[in-house]
Amino acid sequence: MLTVVIVAALVAVTAANSASDSYPPQAITRSRISQQCAGYCKDSSKFSLRPDSTYVYSYEGTTTSGVPGATNETSVIKVTAKAHVQVTASPCELILQIHEARLLDSGFKGLQSAERQREFAKVLEANPLRFSYQDGRVEQLCPAADEALWALNLKRGLLSVFQNSMADLSKDAHLYERDVSGSCETTYSVEPMIWSDVKVLKNKDLQSCSGRGHQTLGLPGTFSTKAKSVPIIKSEQFCEQTIKSDDGTYLSSARCQETHIFAPFSNGQSGIRTTAELSLSLDNIVP
């Protein structure tokens, strides 16, 4: 899911090569980056991206976990990076490349660089992710053959925020959408803005998802693996996208918040609450 990875990020970096390849229902093909990912290219009715250009976004993702009512302490993991989305000669063949990745976690002096920050950045930045982009919908992912599972899931979470599966940007929609969360019932609603900009609100009840994964927004988690066996009593996701239509039609910014509330422990303690927040903001478009 755009979900919380139940295993902490630092453990994930160490165990990346031993993780099993189990994914929610989204087409994934391990390949060489030189291979084409999109098997076809449908006509675009919503988005118009500039061929042979790169859209540079600032990316920020934060996962916060705590036990409300039982303690004031919270655990925080934060990821920041530059996300370069390259449009090839085909508007359906896109490549995501991560740069300037940083991993921070909560310490005695607030957020600070995590112990294995350098290794985290090295693995996350190592491989570009080629994907099929069909007028807003991410249909196929073609990661490098040696891409670490945790790194792939983080990139999938980013693309979940980038994705818009509506048929028409002027009409509300109710549909099933496939992403890192699985196949989920999703509601889109439109809020017109000034000029030609459009604000889109997207809501998912994550408990309705089939093929549900084990990640929040693809972000690293912050709490013990003991939480794996604790049932979730509420799980939801809310996103807001701003779409611009000047020199093409493209995603200008997006933010998502995903919340999970786990059932109270059997000893009467309060349940765990985990919130993941992710944002993308367009910095510039490079020809």
Range(s) of the domain holding residue 220: 2-286
Average pLDDT per run of 10 along the chain, which is 287 residues long? 37 38 53 76 90 97 81 84 96 96 79 82 96 93 93 93 93 89 90 85 86 61 45 82 91 94 61 89 96
Gap between the Cα atoms of 283 and 125, Å rounded: 19
Q: What is the pLDDT, as a whole number, of residue 23? A: 40
Q: Tell me the CATH number at 28.
A: 2.30.230.10
Give the 3-state DSSP-derived string for 137-161, with helices as H, strands as E and coil as C. EEEEEECECCCCHHHHHHHHHHHHH
User: Residue 209 is encoded by which pair of tokens?
Assistant: 């998802």
Contact (Cβ atoms closer than 8 angstroms) between residue 217 and residue 258: yes
Q: What is the pLDDT, as a whole number, of residue 234? A: 77
Gap between the Cα atoms of 131 and 206, Å rounded: 24
Gap between the Cα atoms of 60 and 222, Å rounded: 16
Nearest to 238 by CA among 210, 217, 222: 217
Contact (Cβ atoms closer than 8 angstroms) between residue 215 and residue 206: no
Per the structure, the count of domains in the chain is: 1
Q: What is the pLDDT, as a whole number, of residue 228? A: 45
Taking only Cα atoms into account, the Rg of the chain, rounded to an integer number of angstroms, comes to 18
